[in-house]
Amino acid sequence: MSYDVIVIGLGGMGSAAAYHLVARGQRVLGLEKFGPAHDRGSSHGGSRIIRQSYFEDPAYVPLLLRAYELWDKLATDTGREVYRLTGGLFMGPPDSVTVAGSQRASREWDLPHEMLDAAEIRRRFPTFTPYPGDVALYESKAGFARPEMTVQAHIDLAESAGAELHFGEPLHGWDDTSGGVAVTTERGTYTAGHLVICPGAWAPQLLADFGIPITIERQVLYWFDPVGGTGSFVDHPIFIHEDVEGAQAYGFPAIDGPGGGVKVAFFRKGIVCTPETIDRTVSEQEIVEMRDRVAALLPALAGDCVHTATCMYSNTPDQHFVIARHPDADRITVACGFSGHGFKFVPVVGEILADLAIDGATGHPISLFDPGRLVTT
Ligand SMILES: Cc1cc2nc3c(=O)[nH]c(=O)nc-3n(C[C@H](O)[C@H](O)[C@H](O)COP(=O)(O)OP(=O)(O)OC[C@H]3O[C@@H](n4cnc5c(N)ncnc54)[C@H](O)[C@@H]3O)c2cc1C
C-alpha cells in the first residue's frame, strides 16, 4: 500500500504531525510501537507547563503564540480541555535564568507580565514562602496542557479525517530510494513519498546514522498530598523556582481531585538512561530530596508522597530542538531532541512538520532547530 507520508512514532509530536498532514489532504500512515497515548515515552504524567515568557530563548515566542492559537483550536475541535490557563510564577534571584530570561522574552515580545517582590508574592499567593531575595515574573497566560488527552485528541482527529494509524507496530527499518521510501515492520512493507520521524527517546537508536547527539535522561514526577488538604492548591498558578545554584523545580495546581496530590518535579536533574534501561522505581531518598526542596518553598507540600512516575527527556547539547528535513535525505523529516520542554509546542510542531513534508519549507522561524549545528559525523 502506498501513502503520501508515513509518520513514525505517534507520541506528542507524531500524533500532531499525522493530524496536520491528513488535514491538508495527505494520505497518511502512522506507525507506533506501543498503544495510543501510552506511558513509556515522554508524553504522559497528566500535565505539562505551557508559557510564553520563554527564558530558554526569545526566539521560541512566535512559535508559542501560534501554538496557543492551535491549542485553542484543538480544544474547540474536540470539546476536550486539552489545556488550561492558571497563571504562572517564574521565581528566583532577579538575575537567575528563570527570572531574567522570562523578563527578557516578555520585554522583547511585549508579552503581558508583572514583576513581584517577595512580599507581593506572599500576599497574592499565600501558599508560597519565597526564599530571601526571590522575585517573580507573573504571567497570566501560563498554565498547563494535558499530555495524554492531547495525544488522544490528535489521534482521534487524524483518524476521523482518514489517517491510517497502526498501534503496536514498530518500525524495523526503511529504505530511501529515488522512487520513494519503503518502510518495513513485522507486518509488511509500506511505501510513501515522504517519511516523518518523531522517535522521542528512541532517537539515538532510530537516527543513529544521522549523527545527532542526543542523551536520554530519566526524570521523576512526584505527587504530594498537601497538609491541610488540596483546597488552596485547586486555583493555583503553575510555577518554576530557581535556587541560587541555578537548580529549577516546578509544580502544578491540584488537578486530580482530593487525594490526587500536587505534582512537582526537578527540571533537568536526571540520570542518563535508555528506554530499555530506565529504572522505573523511585527511591525513598529521591522522594525525601524532592519533598525537602518543595516544602521549603510551599510548606504545605511537606505531606505524603501519594504517587510517582518516570519519564524521559531527549537532550541535545544546547537543549534546543531538532526539526528539519534531513540534509542528506530529502524524503525524510525529523523532529527530536525536545530536551524536556517540547510539549507546549506540540500543535505548532505538527503544523511545521506538515509544512516540511509537503512543501519542503515552513514559514515558521525554525533556524534554531537546524541539526547542522550539532551533527558530529
Ligand atoms: C517528566 C517530564 C516533564 C516534562 N515537562 C514538560 C513541561 O512541563 N512542558 C513542556 O513543554 N514539555 C515538558 N516535557 C517535555 C515534553 O513532554 C516532550 O518534549 C514531548 O512529550 C516529546 O514528544 P515526542 O513526540 O518527541 O516523544 P514521545 O511522545 O515519547 O513520542 C515518541 C514516540 O515514538 C514511538 N516510537 C519509538 N520508536 C519507534 C519505532 N521503532 N516504531 C514506531 N514507533 C516508535 C514511541 O513509542 C513514542 O510513542 C516533559 C517531559 C518529561 C519526561
Name the pTM for this structure. Answer: 0.98
Q: Which class is 2-44+148-213+318-373 in CATH? A: alpha beta
**CA 223, 266, 240, 119 torsion: positive or negative?**
positive
Average pLDDT over residues 155-176: 97
Rounded CA-CA distance 372/353 in Å is: 18
Give residue 43's pLDDT. 98
Q: Which atom of ligand 1 is nearest to the CA of 38?
A: 49
Q: Kindly report, as residue ranges, where domains of CATH 3.50.50.60 are found in the chain.
A: 2-44+148-213+318-373
pLDDT, tens only, 74-91: 999 999 999 999 999 999
Confidence of residue 297 (pLDDT cuts 50, 70, 90): very high
Residue 59 is placed in which grid cell? Answer: 526566539
Give the whole-number percent of the chain exceeding pLDDT 70. Answer: 99
- The minimum-distance atom of ligand 1 relative to the CA of 336 is 26
pLDDT of 375 strictly over 70: yes
178 — pLDDT class (breaks 50, 70, 90):
confident
The verdict on the CB of residue 270 being under 6 Å from ligand 1 is no
Instruction: Give the Cβ contact number of residue 367 at 10 Å.
Output: 9
Task: Choose among 160, 107, 114: nearest CA to 139.
Answer: 114
Do strands 322-326 and 329-336 pair parallel, antiparallel, or not at all (unpaired)?
A: antiparallel
pLDDT of residue 171: 97
pLDDT, residue 86, reads 98
Q: Looking at the predicted structure, is the pLDDT value of residue 310 above 90?
A: yes
| Residue 212 contacts residue 202 (beta carbons within 8 Å) | no
251 residue type, one letter? G
200 lines ligand 1 (CB under 6 A): yes
Does the Cβ of 195 fall within 6 Å of ligand 1? no
**Helix (H/G/I), strand (E/B), else coil: 62:** helix
32 lines ligand 1 (CB under 6 A): yes
Q: pLDDT tens digits, residue range 7-38?
A: 999 999 999 999 999 999 999 999 999 999 99
- Parallel, antiparallel, or unpaired: how do β-strands 88-92 and 238-242 relate? parallel
Any ligand 1 atom below 6 A from CB of 199: yes
What confidence tier does 326 reach under pLDDT thresholds 50, 70, 90? confident
Minimal CA–CA distance to 364: which of 5, 69, 73, 97? 69
Grid coordinates representing 264 are 512537582
Residue 9 alpha carbon, nearest atom of ligand 1: 34
Per the structure block, which three cell numbers stand in for 310?
518516570
Once rounded to an integer, what is the mean pLDDT over residues 222-237?
95
338 lines ligand 1 (CB under 6 A): yes
Return the residue whose CA atom lies nearest to atom 24 of ligand 1.
200
Mutate to test the pocket of ligand 1, among 55, 307, 341 (most ligand atoms within 8 A of CB): 341
pLDDT at 259: 87
Domain 71-143+215-315 -> CATH class: alpha beta
In the chain the first and final C-alpha atoms are separated, in Å, by 34
Section 47-62 average pLDDT? 98
Which DSSP state fits 359? H
pLDDT digits (tens, 9 = 90+) for 30-39: 999 999 999 9
Q: Which amino acid is at 1?
A: M
Contact between 263 and 221 (Cβ < 8 Å): yes
The partner residues of 265 in beta bridges, in order of sequence, read: 250
Q: Which of 356, 190, 213 minimizes the C-alpha distance to 272?
A: 213
Quick one: pLDDT at residue 177?
Answer: 86
- Distance, in Å, from the CA atom of 330 to the CA atom of 350, rounded to the nearest integer, reads 19
Q: Which residues of 208-236 are buried (b: 16+ CB within 10 A; e: fewer)?
A: eebebebebbbbbbbbbbbeeebebbeeb
Q: Is the pLDDT of residue 156 over 70?
A: yes
Choice from 185, 238, 343 to test ligand 1 binding pocket (greatest atom count within 8 A of CB):
343
Distance, CA of 266 to CA of 222 (rounded, Å)? 9
217 CA to centre of ligand 1 in angstroms: 12
Q: Number of H helices and number of E strands within the chain?
A: 9, 20
Q: What is the mean pLDDT of residues 272-294?
A: 97
Alpha carbons within 13 A on the beta-carbon side of 62? 8
pLDDT at residue 216, as a whole number: 98
CA dihedral of 293, 298, 302, 308, whole degrees rounded to 10: -70
Average pLDDT of every residue of the chain: 96
Look at residue 211 and tell me whether its pLDDT is greater than 90. no
**Rounded Cα gap, residues 83 and 145, in angstroms:** 4
User: Contact at 8 Å (CB) between 314 and 214?
Assistant: yes
Residue nearest to atom 27 of ligand 1 (CA): 200
1 pLDDT above the threshold of 80: no
Mutate to test the pocket of ligand 1, among 202, 269, 344 (most ligand atoms within 8 A of CB): 202
Measured from the CB, is residue 291 less than 6 Å from ligand 1? no
- Tell me what pLDDT residue 377 has: 59
How many Cα atoms are found within 13 Å in the side-chain-facing hemisphere of 239? 27
Q: Please, where in the chain does CATH 3.30.9.10 lie? A: 71-143+215-315
Ligand 1: nearest atom to the Cα of 48: 8
